[in-house]
Structure 1
Amino acid sequence: MREVNIYERLRNNPIIAAIKEESDLDELLQSDVEVIFVLQSSLLTIKEMSEKIEASGKVGFVHLGLVKGLSDDEIGLKFLKENTSFSGIIATKWPQLVRAQSLGFLTVYRIFMVDSLAFNSLKKCQNSKFPDFIEIMPNPNGKIIQAVKDQIKRPLIVSGLITDKDDVISALKNGAAAISSTNKKVWEL
């Protein structure tokens, strides 16, 4: 795994392409997107996917809990570290991220911002070194984005229901460092 300056890449292109279908990867590798979130894959193809992403010069993250056939525990993380070229791990569970970071992965804590309980759970993200990013979804309004950004002081990724240029501009204007979308039209913005 090579060293990457993910923060600089996201400043240059704040759109993260998130893929649910392995068949979308080859097309995506020809795009200008620099960061890819692999949201669904399998143990049979994850290594090849990571190698394609790395060979294209892009940065890949994988959602630990959505790799079919791979456990989302320390053994699964060690497998990814030793057998893939992914730079980062996306997870909804805090212990997975702690283990991932100890193995040298960048980390994205993905949280569904559905109520004040979810918002208040972000207090654990105030450590200045951990996690590397917070991803909130679905695409909240600007007021919520600003409140989360003010509370956590970590780079914020907004995802879920990002459908057009206006959604991207709104999220970035209100403090998001990047957006993540599975919408191919958004990847082309």
Structure 2
Amino acid sequence: MKEVNIYEKLRNNPIIAAIKDEADLDELLESDVEVIFVLQSSLLTVEELSKKIDESGKVGFVHLGLIKGLSDDEIGLRFLKEHTHFSGIISTKWPQLVRAQALGFMTVYRNFLVDSLAFNSLKKSQNPKFPDFIEILPNPNGKTIKAVTEQIKRPLIVSGLITDKEDVITALKNGAIAISSTNKKIWKL
């Protein structure tokens, strides 16, 4: 895995394209987006997807729990490390992120921020080693984004139900480092 400066890439373009359909990848590789989240794949295609992303000069992350045919345990992580070009792992499960980071992956802790209990669970991400990024969804209001960035002090990615430029600007203005979206219209902003 090559060394990448994801922070520089996100400063250049804070839009992260998230794909659920592998057919969207070829179109995306021609875009200005520099970071790609692969949210769905299978054991049969994950290697080729990672290779295409890597060869395009973009940075790829993969959601560990959403690769059909691959377990989200140590063996699954080792497979990704040895057979793909992904730079990072996305997961809702804390132990997988700890193991992924030990293997040299960047990590994104994906958290569904639906209530105050979920907000309080983010406190465990205060650990200075884990994770590299926090991702919250669905797209909260600006006040909530600001509260998360003040409390957590980790680079924040906002995703889920990002529908227009105003959503992007609100997230960035209130402290998010980037937004992630499956909406092709957002990829082109």
Band of TM-score, shorter chain: over 0.9
Q: Distance in 1 between matches of 2:181 and 2:168?
A: 10
1:155 aligns with 2:151: no
Corresponding position of 1:51: 51
Corresponding position of 2:14: 14
Which aligned segments of 4 or more residues in structure 1 are displaced greater than 2 angstroms? Answer: none
Q: Distance in 2 between matches of 1:44 and 1:91?
A: 20
Corresponding position of 1:118: 118
Q: Distance in 1 between matches of 2:93 and 2:60?
A: 19
**Structure 2 unaligned residues grouped into runs of 5+:** none
Corresponding position of 2:24: 24
Q: Shift of the alpha carbon at 1:127?
A: 1.6
Q: Shift of the alpha carbon at 1:94?
A: 0.2
Q: TM-score, with normalisation over the residues of structure 1?
A: 0.99
Q: Distance in 1 between matches of 2:141 and 2:164?
A: 14
Q: Distance in 1 between matches of 2:123 and 2:32?
A: 35
The size of the alignment, in residue pairs, is: 189
Q: Distance in 2 between matches of 1:8 and 1:131?
A: 18
Q: TM-score, with normalisation over the residues of structure 2?
A: 0.99
Corresponding position of 1:177: 177
Q: Shift of the alpha carbon at 1:12?
A: 1.0
1:135 aligns with 2:135: yes
Q: Shift of the alpha carbon at 1:124?
A: 0.4
Q: Shift of the alpha carbon at 1:116?
A: 0.4
Counterpart secondary structure, 2:143:
helix
Counterpart secondary structure, 2:82:
helix
Corresponding position of 2:74: 74
Q: Distance in 2 between matches of 1:25 and 1:64?
A: 18
Q: Shift of the alpha carbon at 1:129?
A: 2.5
Quote the sequence identity (%).
83
Q: Distance in 1 between matches of 2:162 and 2:46?
A: 26
Q: Distance in 2 between matches of 1:91 and 1:186?
A: 23
Q: Distance in 2 between matches of 1:133 and 1:180?
A: 12
Q: Which moves more between the two structures, 123-132 or 14-23?
A: 123-132
Q: Distance in 1 between matches of 2:174 and 2:152?
A: 14
Q: Distance in 2 between matches of 1:152 and 1:120?
A: 10
Q: Shift of the alpha carbon at 1:131?
A: 0.3
Q: Distance in 2 between matches of 1:132 and 1:21?
A: 26
